[in-house]
Each structure stands twice: as C-alpha cells, then as structure tokens.
Amino acid sequence: MIEGAPIADLSRVGVRFGRMPVLRDVNLRIDPGEVVGIVGPNGSGKSTLLRILATLLKPSIGRAAVLGTDVLSEGTLAARRQIDLLGHHPGLWGELTLLENLTFVARLAGSPTEKAERALDLVGLGGAKHRRADHSSHGMQRRVEFARVLLTRPRMLLLDEAHAGLDKAAQALVKAAVEDVQGREGGVVLVSHEPDRMLPLVNTTYHLEGGTLHDRTGMT
C-alpha cells in the first residue's frame, strides 16, 4: 500500500439483494488515522456497508478499494489479513475455551501463542481463560474479540454496534482498540443506531438511511 493512500475508497457503490436495493450510490473515503462513525436506523444498510469494507461482500455496482486492493480483484487475501470485523455475533467456537479460541486465531495468523494468553489477561479474562465460549456471557465473548484485535493488530478495524452488551469497564476496550489502530495510522469504522457512546470516538460522522449515505451536512 502506498504511503498516505486512503485506507478505503468507495465510489458510487450500490448493493442489491435480489431486486431490493440495500445501498445506493455510496461514496466514502477513509484516510489513515481517521475514525469514521456511521449512524442509522436498523435495516439502513450499515452492516452491509461494513461487509463491503471487510471485502466479504462484493458491490453490485461501483468501485471499492480497501487497503489499496480492489475488492473485486483476486488479490484480496493480503488485504484481508489487515482487517478485523467485530460483528453482531462473535466468531467464536462454542465448544472451545476462550483461550483455545484465541490460540487458534494466533496460530492461523502466524502469531506466537503466548500472545493469546497475554491478550486475554489484558482484556480482563485471564481468570476465565479455560471457560468454554458457549458457557461465557455475550460480554465475555465480546472481550475475547477485543483480545483478538490486540493479537492481530489490524490496519482497518470495523466495529458493528461495538458497545452493545458491554459493561462500563469493557467499553474502555472499544476506546483503547480504536486509539491503537488510529495511532498506527490505520482506519476505523464504527456503526451504531445509538450514536451517544460512539460519537466521542470519531472524527467524521455519516448518516445512513434507506441505503444512502449522507455526511454531517446532509450532502450525499
């Protein structure tokens, strides 16, 4: 990726599921060190937009480049390794313990496995590391995901309703994760239908409604 190049650059992106348009004519540029907040009601297309930024969904129309890679190209593998997405449902295997889940991630990512244990300590789960994921609360599972962010150190962090299900202490993890990525000149996107807790963290806010993205001034 070229120095100073945008982390993500979406131009006239549209997505349709069958006949239903979910996103229309979305233009969005995320620069290094920028934290973008996207606010919108349920069903407005926020999660779809995040999945495009994560290269997990291809736009039906328009151009989307993430970390210097066109999401429609074959070369997304390298870009994907620099992205982490925390969605509505934690990507954990219920039968594995919290530590086993994180060790699995570490091994796949080619990271030392000792880091997994240290990351769990840092998010306050050191005492629960041998608890199965399906015996852990949603908040604990969320904390494991933040431990994963500490482990993989993504260049682009995508947070879908990041504060949901987190107690006050855990909400500090969101701030720490955002600041860490921002400090490394990465990009962060937070989406929420409850902007109050998100807004203090972001540089730029957009409003997404009916699949159309408006900036703070209401311009599309």
Stretch that binds another protein, among 28-36, 109-117, 162-170, 174-182 (CB under 8 A): 109-117
Find the shortest distance in angstroms from Cβ 158 to another protein: 9
Please choose, from the candidates 50, 64, 62, 90, the residue with its C-alpha nearest in 3D space to the C-alpha of residue 8: 64
By CB under 8 A, tell whether 135 contacts another protein. Answer: no
| Cβ burial 129-164 (10 Å sphere, 16+ → b, else e) | beeebeebeeebbbbbbbbbbbbbebbbbbbbbbbe
Among positions 28, 83, 144, 181, the unique one binding another protein when judged by CB under 8 A: 83
| Collapsed DSSP state (helix, strand, coil) of residue 188 | strand
Query: How many residues are there in the chain?
Result: 220
Q: Which of residues 155-214 bind another protein (CB under 8 A)?
A: none
Closest CA to 32 of 53, 6, 70: 6
Q: Could you tell me which stretch among 3-11, 59-67, 101-109, 121-129 binds another protein (CB under 8 A)?
A: 101-109
Q: Cβ of residue 135: shortest distance to another protein, in angstroms? A: 11
Fill in the per-residue mask, 6 to 35: x = in contact with another protein (CB under 8 A), - = not in contact: ------------------------------
Which residues are 190's β-sheet partners?
Answer: 37, 159
Place of tokens 């902007």: 195
What stretches of 87-162 adopt beta strand conformation (E)?
A: 156-160
Q: Least distance (Å) from another protein to the CB of residue 168?
A: 25
**For another protein, which is the closer residue by CB, 1 or 56?**
56
Residue from 24, 80, 129, 143 touching another protein (CB under 8 A): that is 80
Edge-to-edge strand list for the sheet holding 8-17: 20-30, 8-17, 61-66, 69-70
**b/e sequence 100-111, b meaning 16+ C-beta within 10 Å:** bbbbebbeeeeb
Report how many residues bind another protein under the rule CB under 8 A.
32
Q: Considering only residues 12, 63, 107, 138, which one is a binding residue for another protein as defined by CB under 8 A?
A: 107
What residue ranges bind another protein (CB under 8 A)? 54, 56-58, 77-78, 80-85, 87, 89-93, 95-96, 100, 104-105, 107-111, 132, 152-154
